[in-house]
Amino acid sequence: MPTTILAYQHSQNFLSRKRSFPVHVDMLSRFRTHAQQQASVRKVRRGETDIIIGTHRLISKDVEFADLGLIIIDEEQRFGVAQKEKLKQIAANADILTLTATPIPRTLNMAMGGIVDMSVLEEAPGQRAPVQTYVLEFDEAIIMEAIRRELRRSGQVFYMYNRVEGIYAVADRIGKAIPDARIAVAHGKMEREEIEEVWEELIKGNVDILVCTTIIETGVDIPNANTLIIENADHYGLSQLHQIRGRVGRSSRRAYAYFTYRKSKVLTEVAEKRLAAIKEYAAFGAGFKIALRDLEIRGAGNLLGAEQHGHMEAVGYDMYMKLLSEAVIEEKGEVIPPKPECAVDIRCDAFLSKSYIPSPPQRMDMYKKIARIEREEDYDDVLDELCDRYGEPGSAAVNLCRIGYIKALGGQAGLRKVEETDGTVRLYPHEMEAKPVTLLAAAYPAAGVKVLLGNSPHILLKVPRGERNTEFIREVLEKYSAFRGTPEKGNNQK
């Protein structure tokens, strides 16, 4: 298991750093015998162990803690929701710190929503350079030359092939091409003693090329390994590729990563996006951007339940986030500011056509941005983005943006509804005010401004001939909102 090697490395680091202090450090993983594990469990139960480092074995039923105060979850993306929830139940009053370069969508969404606190480390360790990343069709000549170049500078190579049944054939192929290289194989089905032996030889520098599965993905730290080659990189997830790339470039040397896919293979659209993203996001701090991209692609998951990604189909993502933000504000004891809502019903074509924005995800993204328009600057920004990315928008796209802005203006102007039918505009205010109506009638004498009372009091006016209804309504609402804030004549102001 990847976490087994990480637990082993962490335990070695903790033992060396705490050697001079009266602190008892222990480890639980399959690298320990059954008798050793039972002894560790007893010590933890009696409170004799100060720091226990382990894999998922720590959440087994037989593990009980005397007084657990802090839980640190490293490589959080390797743990499922059920496992993390069980850890929380084990120590209801303990502090929990999760560490990861690429948080799962649900965790990232919870952090951005204010449910959990988040801290981002953006500065790279001194003298480190970003990993030089290549995405290419598999070409044995290029790959073997990359390996030879690393060996010439006395470095080590990770060669990832994630199928156990073919991994030894890959190692033989590399051995024939580079006969002087010392090659080892590591995968999750090997015995504990075999993995430990390979790992010790790798750390000592007695292995030049490690042909492996994703066993190296989690937290492996070999500073002298600075070339990574992955076969069939299109089979991996975006965050997983970034995690694996992080196994190289852990020293002051320039590191190289080669993400290859089978020659002449037609990649799926999702695989193309993943490989394009891993090539684009190569700088330091890219893990956070990759996690955000993953959040966009896979969705934010459910707050309650086991799904760590996916969209909230029952209520829709925007409504879900609105309800979530309101719940967070309530839990903090703050007052939720009322947001005015205004319904808009205008007879016109208002949509983003497939011919204008062919990609459904990009089209949905633009719909969301239009729905979030709240002020004139937002309206202008959305129009500018449409022009920059997709060219001059048609009348339907412009109308949609205007309706988004009209909806925001209506709420700010104290209107509950704006209607337009056959050139007749009806404004339904929450409270009818004489001053803005009078000023509106003076500003638009040709529109025939009237006030109709009854069960639903509203202001009625006509769209002047030759004017576009959405543009006219937008202008009227801007003036109406300004008139509501105009002081009454005769008021003395200092």
Using one digit for the tens of pLDDT, what is the confidence trace for 13-39?
Answer: 899 898 889 999 999 887 788 899 999
Query: Full-prediction pTM beyond 0.85?
Result: no
| Average pLDDT of every residue of the chain | 81
474/348 Cα distance (integer angstroms): 14
pLDDT at 337 over 80: no
Q: When comparing pLDDT for 274 and 234, which is higher?
A: 234
Are the C-beta atoms of residues 410 and 473 closer than 8 Å to each other? Answer: no
151/133 Cα distance (integer angstroms): 18
7/57 Cα distance (integer angstroms): 11
User: What are the residue ranges spanned by the domains of the chain?
Assistant: 2-99, 132-282, 343-484
Domains 2-99 and 132-282 share a fold: yes
Are the C-beta atoms of residues 447 and 464 closer than 8 Å to each other? Answer: yes
At residue 265, the pLDDT reads 82
Four-way CATH pick for 132-282: 3.60.15.10, 3.40.630.10, 3.40.50.2300, 3.40.50.300: 3.40.50.300
pLDDT at 9 over 90: no
382/2 Cα distance (integer angstroms): 45
Are the C-beta atoms of residues 259 and 278 closer than 8 Å to each other? Answer: yes
The band of 1, judged by pLDDT with boundaries at 50, 70 and 90, is very low
Min mean pLDDT across 156-165, 171-180, 238-247, 470-479 is at 238-247
The band of 482, judged by pLDDT with boundaries at 50, 70 and 90, is confident
pLDDT at 199 over 70: yes
Could you name the CATH architecture of 2-99? 3-Layer(aba) Sandwich (3.40)
At residue 52, the pLDDT reads 92
Q: At what angle do helices 469-484 and 434-443 cross, to 10 degrees?
A: 130
Four-way CATH pick for 343-484: 1.20.1250.20, 3.90.1150.10, 3.90.1150.50, 3.90.550.10: 3.90.1150.50
Is the backbone of residue 391 left (phi > 0), alpha (psi -120 to 50) or beta?
Answer: left
Structure tokens at 194: 């075999």
| pLDDT tens, position by position, 348-361 | 888 888 899 988 77
